Chains A and B, each alone.
Chain A
């Protein structure tokens, strides 16, 4: 081609036939056809060269996206064979240990998917493992966004979208593993019934409405099916698209570094770098999940047997993402109040309220922090977690609480596998429920402060080289090497906000100023976020110059 220098400019746009007659490629013609109707060229022009910054943690969201796609693909296959019906049948399928047992059509069809449908068991396991990975990845993705402060203006709405995706994903998972109507899933539906019934005043009405009568009734499986395959996935798909559109609209956040500002994005273009990387990553995610599904059993419904309300098995835990609700129930004492012919089932209702609160705090945190800091500016440069010790501490406190509840939810398995008393574990979890998050917060905050001090030390005195020098008068010193300029920039790029000040106690006329309780609270919280207990003043350029101008060691 380089020999045809005279028509090089045409080479890029026009293909050539053997005869040398200028003729457009078929692909180009069809692209023109589509552009004439959908205007894809301008769309592509605007978006294909969109720049994304590069960091492994920015790919956590991709894991969520891809596992969600895998769930939809496998779910469609499963709906072809699943019968969401509570109609009673006698089993005569391939799994002999259940021959002649009465069961619902839902359970029978789930057994058939596992044993008689080609590839059914593998698809079922991919569906289930992908769901486990999906929610886990959403939580980790959310941690990344939280700890780096990526939820700040202008991304609060997108945080809410993500939060809703997590919340809906959990419940869709719950409904999904409730559908096969095996012994474990029926126990979960019973658990949910108990939680609904514990709601004061309206609990019984809600329960009757949802279950169409007394538990278990004939309605719950068909209803869950519609919600599981249609309603929630539909909403989630919409939220997901909105989430991604907002990522495009806001542009991706980036970590501080040379040349990176609040007004630019330094990275690689979508086409071809991230197209290739994302496409490849999708297949890797699919591969990992398929591999796990091929080697490890998940939800062996045939072993659980069909659900009967008079039967229950131990190890009746929900999937991990609902595990903390199980923990809340298990560590809660069985309190109840009976008065005026009514029972207030606090042993279930309080866990239900705490369950809701644990989600509410996630949803409102960006707005809470925005209110405390009073920061109305846009933020596209990410925080390092150490530079926001209070936020990091709060996040770790939440995670600690979550983990404690997960342990509480699996207390029986910790008891049998670690040879401990289940009561001791339950009591430990009860105490840790209150103490654990506080300790986690304090430890994390101090840890962050320590890391800030270390950064300051590194900036001012450089990196320890490990080289020991002996001076002429006999003193031994370790040689410190100055950090490169870009590293210095990276460590000092963050800004340090001063705590909000209350206005002077008296105004210019000497009249005592009235300061509301809310303003006082805000000032106090602001001092907590940005006071001397929460940030080490980063070294200034003068400090650095002064210290490096003198002797090279210290």
Chain B
């Protein structure tokens, strides 16, 4: 040790330490890094390649050949794979026609293709990533209901039935939307929806909201206890129903009773 100690002020000592440090980290990495990384890398690049091909056929006419955006569609740099998975996975993209809002419709790509496009768009710039199952399952329904009423109900309605926004835009119904897509929507804020990144809405709260939405919009877990929901859109449909069916039936009954009275005899 004495020898080593004596040479610690040698001009090359720092270099030697650096070499040792590099060797150590390199060795550790080699020992601990996932072994499949090499093959995953290859499939990843293949996926990006495939995704790019799909993108250039289905998306580039509006978003530009490299996702840089045109006057028909926004730039996709930095939107992340979660945005692609949501937009294409719910059928919103590719868009059918210009309008106030792009509606969800039939999904025309399969999940593998969607993943490929998502992988390609993710290479354009860092952005929100497609969540994994444990990120969006296992929330608390009651807590989620409170969060939903605070953050979501003013547009999506208390039952997730959707509602109107300005100029023909609207918040869609949440019935039948998958947990993953709800998570991605909160994360990326598609179209007119504000985004709720984890900094403002922690992952646990997202889980709770998802649990509530899935509970509230599913008639198996949340049956309509009072009978027909009439669209779960509040008193307007109740009023219409009351006028047309309840009062309508009663007036019909009145006419029926009046028609069955012996009329005063003609003299």
A43: interface (CB < 8 Å): no
Known pairs A281-B257, A319-B239, A320-B238; A302 contacts B225 (CB<8 A): yes
Chain A residues with CB under 8 Å of B259's CB are: 56
A315–B163 CB distance below 8 A = yes
Residue in B154, B158, B212, B267 with the greatest tally of chain A CB atoms within 10 Å: B158
Chain A residue nearest to B259 in the complex (CB): A56
CB distance A323 to B224 under 8 Å? no
Is B142's CB under 8 angstroms from A304's CB?
A: no
Considering the complex, give the chain A residue whose CB is closest to the CB of B151: A311
Tell yes or no: B117 within 8 A of A by CB: no
A213 within 8 A of B: no
Contact among A62, A323, A413 with B233 in the assembled complex (CB-CB below 8 Å):
A413
Is the beta-carbon distance between B236 and A54 smaller than 8 angstroms? no
With A62-B254, A99-B142, A281-B254 as known contacts, state yes or no: A423 contacts B166, CB within 8 Å. Answer: yes
B165 interface contact, C-beta 8 A: yes
CB closest residue in chain A, given B258: A56
Taking CB as reference atom, which chain A residue is nearest B212?
Answer: A97
Query: Are B100 and A421 in touch, CB under 8 angstroms?
Result: yes
What residues on B are CB-neighbors of A96 within 8 Å?
141-142
Most A-side CB within 10 Å, residue of B158, B237, B240, B242:
B242
Verify A101–B142 contact, CB threshold 8 A.
yes
Say whether chain A's binding surface is mostly helix, strand, loop, or mixed.
helix
Residue numbers in B under 8 Å from A419 (CB-CB): 168
Decide: B236 and A410 in contact? CB cutoff 8 A.
Answer: yes
Cβ of B154 and Cβ of A312 under 8 Å apart? yes
For the complex, what is the distance from the CA of A59 to the CA of B251, rounded to whole Å?
8
Q: Which residues of A contact B228 (CB under 8 A)?
A: 295-297
* B108 at the A interface (CB under 8 A): no
Pick from B156, B171, B242, B257: contact of A292, CB below 8 A: B242
In chain B, residues 55-78, which have Cβ atoms closer than 8 Å to a Cβ of chain A?
none
CA distance A153 to B156 in the complex (A): 53
Q: Is A305 an interface residue (CB 8 A)?
A: yes
Identify the interface centre among B168, B227, B233: most chain A CB within 10 Å of its CB.
B227
Q: A56-B259, A115-B225, A296-B227 known; A413 and B164 CB under 8 Å? A: yes
When A317-B235, A320-B238 are in contact, do A311 and B149 touch as well, CB less than 8 Å?
yes
User: How many residues on B have C-beta within 8 angstroms of the other chain's C-beta atoms?
Assistant: 66
Contact B154 A314 (CB under 8 A): yes
The answer to whether A300 touches B167, judged by C-beta atoms less than 8 angstroms apart, is: no
Residues of B within 8 A of A323 (CB): 235-236, 239
* Contact in complex: B141, A310 (CB < 8 Å): no
- Chain-B contact segment, one of A283-291, A503-511, A522-530: A283-291
Question: B237: shortest Cβ distance to chain A, in Å?
Answer: 8
In chain A, residues 370-424, which have Cβ atoms closer than 8 Å to a Cβ of chain B? 409-413, 415-416, 419-424
User: How far is the CB of A266 from the nearest CB of chain B, in Å?
Assistant: 6
Contact B170 A101 (CB under 8 A): no
Main secondary structure on B side of the interface with A: helix
Complex CA gap A295/B216 in Å reads: 20
User: Is A459's CB within 8 Å of the partner chain B?
Assistant: no
Instruction: Please report the C-alpha to C-alpha distance between residue A99 and residue B141 in the assembled complex, in whole angstroms.
Output: 9
**Is the beta-carbon distance between B250 and A133 smaller than 8 angstroms?**
yes
Closest A residue to B234 by beta carbon equals A315
- Residues of A with C-beta under 8 A to B153: 183, 311-314
**Across the interface, which residues of B come within 8 angstroms of A415, CB to CB?**
164, 168, 170
Is B222 among interface residues, defined by CB-CB distance under 8 A?
yes
- Tell me the residues in window 85-104 of chain A with beta carbons closer than 8 Å to chain B beta carbons: 96-101
A300-B224, A313-B153 known; A288 and B170 CB under 8 Å? no
Report whether B225 and A416 are in contact in the complex, using a CB–CB cutoff of 8 Å: no
User: Which residues on the B side are within 8 Å of A423 (C-beta)?
Assistant: 166-167
**Residues in B neighbouring A177, C-beta threshold 8 A:** 235
Minimum CB–CB distance from A63 to chain B (whole Å) comes to 5
In Å, the complex CA distance between A356 and B245 comes to: 30
The interface residues of chain B lying within 8 Å CB-to-CB of A300 are: 224-226, 229, 232
The 7 A-B residue pairs with the shortest CB-CB distance, nearest first, are A320-B239, A297-B226, A314-B163, A56-B258, A412-B164, A132-B242, A421-B168
Given contacts A136-B242, A314-B153, 13 further A-B contacts (CB under 8 A): A56-B254, A56-B257, A59-B257, A63-B251, A281-B257, A302-B225, A313-B154, A314-B155, A314-B157, A314-B164, A316-B234, A413-B236, A423-B166
Interchain residue pairs with CB less than 8 A apart (10): A56-B254, A59-B254, A125-B227, A183-B153, A313-B153, A314-B163, A315-B234, A319-B238, A415-B164, A423-B167
